[in-house]
Amino acid sequence: MTDTAHPAVWRRRTPLAALLIWAGWFALVVLFVFCWHVMNRNTIWEFVWDAPRQAADIGDRMFPPRWSYLPELLVPLWDTLNMATLGTLLGVILAVPVAFLAARNTTPSAAVLRPAALFVIVGSRSINSLIWALLLVAVMGPGLLAGIVAIGLRSIGFIGKLLYEAIEEVDTAPVEAVTATGASRAQVLDYAIVPQVLPAFWGITVFRWDINIRESAILGLVGAGGLGLKLQASLNVLAWPQVTVILLVILATVVLSEWVSARVRKAII
Amino acid sequence: MQAPVQYPARWKRPPQIFTDPLWRRILFVGAAVYLVLALSTVDPNWARIAEGWQRGLRFIGGFLQPDFTSRWRDISNGLIESLTMTLTSTVVGVLISVPIGIGAARNVAPPAVYYICRGIIAASRALQEVIVAIFFVAMFGFGPFAGFLTLAFGTIGFLAKLLAEDIEDIDESQAEAIRATGASWAQMINYAIQPQVMPRLIGLSLYRLDINFRESAVIGIVGAGGIGATLNTAIDRYEYDSAGAILLIIILLVMAAEYSSSYLRKFLQ
């Protein structure tokens, strides 16, 4: 009988695995250093070292906030809320049919319409709403409408993706039961699938509404109305005390909408 | 003898979400009033939209026949800035968010550290990336360095929060076993916590890499470098064929990043 020679010290990995992992981390470090050099080719380091002084300067100018500016912000705030809500509504109206076309169990044609619907979802998701707004302002002119359409187009992808995943996960037993009564396809959809995805639908919509409030607050930077427009105007004239007030209003709105959305989602699910 | 119970001859579907009839009526009326009020604030300038229609068609034309060549130098510069910014900011953001994430986990950090770290996370999450970018551009000057700082700051809020939640959800028995051997706090983190959260940390980092690329396409609009700046310039110059090319590149890269990151995450878990 022979004893296999056990190493005196326990090792988690074989030498080869350890070497490979080490090589992977080393490659990451090399890539990082390379990217850092390429990125900072045109960086003016004097400005970077100057940053603490600039920060102190801006901070100095930002306080105290100019509270008398607050009444002027009420209309833009209302505009921002409307932009988010109407944009969400538009997104929902467009996203629901897309989601039903994209779900494997409800799509009328898996060969043509499903890939088309999936492409719509991916295309809408990969362009940020600020870029959508940039394009739409160029086409439609500045104003609330461009912002609403931008928010709506961006929401299609988000709502569509989550909704079609919810539709694909429905329990098949009710579907079979309703089908067995001789129901048409539309009736199966109405009585077996819709009631199952309705809570998910409301949850997704409120969640997206919350995100849209955040996004619509800054869409004005490219000319789409709301609080962002005021922010841009104040930044252009370097009115830092006004910027502080606007940022605080945005922050309060975002926190409030997040609280509302969390409460609603908790109540539904 | 009992009288036969009268059953209704027709079945009516019970209400799904709002079961109280009074609340349902209030909500419907409230929604209708809000919709009228909100729609009245949208004041579309139809003359401008009719005029912009032409531009919209030209834009779609530019999208169908993208022009990659005539601005290729600008596009490739923007792309290199975006990609390097994405990688460096993710690496630095992850390095910073690991200690903050550990500090924000209730089961391994003392209360004082816990509240400080949660505060940092809340600050990073409450501020939109574009607004942070405006400030960093004002402090550090135009260019990708400001973008790098913005994305790294955004990464902290996202990654540290999810990492902290993950550490709070670990299997306690392993931590207890390591503690029972007389291990120090650092050894406990290294041998009990780190192996449990590492796969998820890598997955989240890859996901954040994907998000950072998307964001890097946006923050260029406010001067923080990257492909967004190139896109903004192209639209300002009415070069819709170049803008179409840039958008196509963004969509393709985002799709590639999304699929490869989700594939890698599946492979790692």
CATH number for position A121: 1.10.3720.10
Helix axes B144-168, B194-219, angle to 10 degrees: 150
Residue A122 shares a structural domain with residue A167: yes
CA distance B205 to A231: 32
Among residues A127, A75, A124, the alpha carbon closest in space to that of A102 is found at: A124
Residue A245 located in a structural domain: yes
Residue A180 shares a structural domain with residue A263: yes
Residue B260 located in a structural domain: yes
Radius of gyration of chain A (CA): 27
pLDDT surpasses 60 at B149: yes
Which of B126-131's residues contact partners 24+ apart within 8 Å by CB, and which partners?
Answer: B126/A251, B126/A254, B126/A255, B127/A251, B128/A214, B128/A215, B128/A217, B128/A218, B128/A250, B129/B154, B129/B215, B129/B218, B129/B219, B130/A130, B130/A218, B130/A221, B130/B218, B130/B219, B130/B221, B130/B222, B131/A218, B131/A231, B131/A247, B131/A250
Residue A125 shares a structural domain with residue A252: yes
Residue B108 located in a structural domain: yes
**Closest CA–CA distance from residue B107 to any residue of chain A (Å):** 25
Residue A80 shares a structural domain with residue A25: no
Task: List pLDDT tens digits, range B82-95.
Answer: 899 999 999 999 99
Which residues 13-52 of B are in CB contact (within 8 Å) with A?
13, 16-17, 34, 38-39, 41-45, 48-49, 51-52
CA distance A86 to A148: 6
pLDDT surpasses 70 at B1: no
Query: Is A198 in CB contact (< 8 Å) with chain B?
Result: yes
Tell if the CB–CB gap between A139 and B56 is shorter than 8 Å: yes
Looking at the structure of chain B, the number of domains it has is 1
Residue B152 located in a structural domain: yes
Query: Is B61 in CB contact (< 8 Å) with chain A?
Result: no
CA distance B44 to A150: 14
Task: List pLDDT tens digits, range A155-204.
Answer: 999 999 999 989 988 888 999 999 999 988 888 888 889 888 888 898 89
Q: What percent of chain B has pLDDT over 70?
A: 96
Nearest by CB to B134, which of A48, A145, A235?
A235
Residue A167 shares a structural domain with residue A91: yes
pTM score, whole prediction: 0.81
Residue A220 shares a structural domain with residue A126: yes
pLDDT surpasses 80 at B169: yes
Residue A222 located in a structural domain: yes
* pLDDT reported for residue B241: 84
* Structural domain containing residue B212: 77-268
Percent helix / strand / coil, chain A, rounded to 5: 80, 0, 20
Residue B220 located in a structural domain: yes
* pLDDT reported for residue B269: 63
* Structural domain containing residue A28: 14-44
Which CATH number fits the domain that encloses residue B85? 1.10.3720.10
* pLDDT reported for residue A92: 94
Looking at the structure of chain A, the number of domains it has is 2
Residue numbers in chain A where pLDDT is lower than 70: 1-5, 7, 269
Task: List pLDDT tens digits, range B61-113.
Answer: 877 888 777 788 888 888 888 899 999 999 999 999 999 999 998 888 888 99
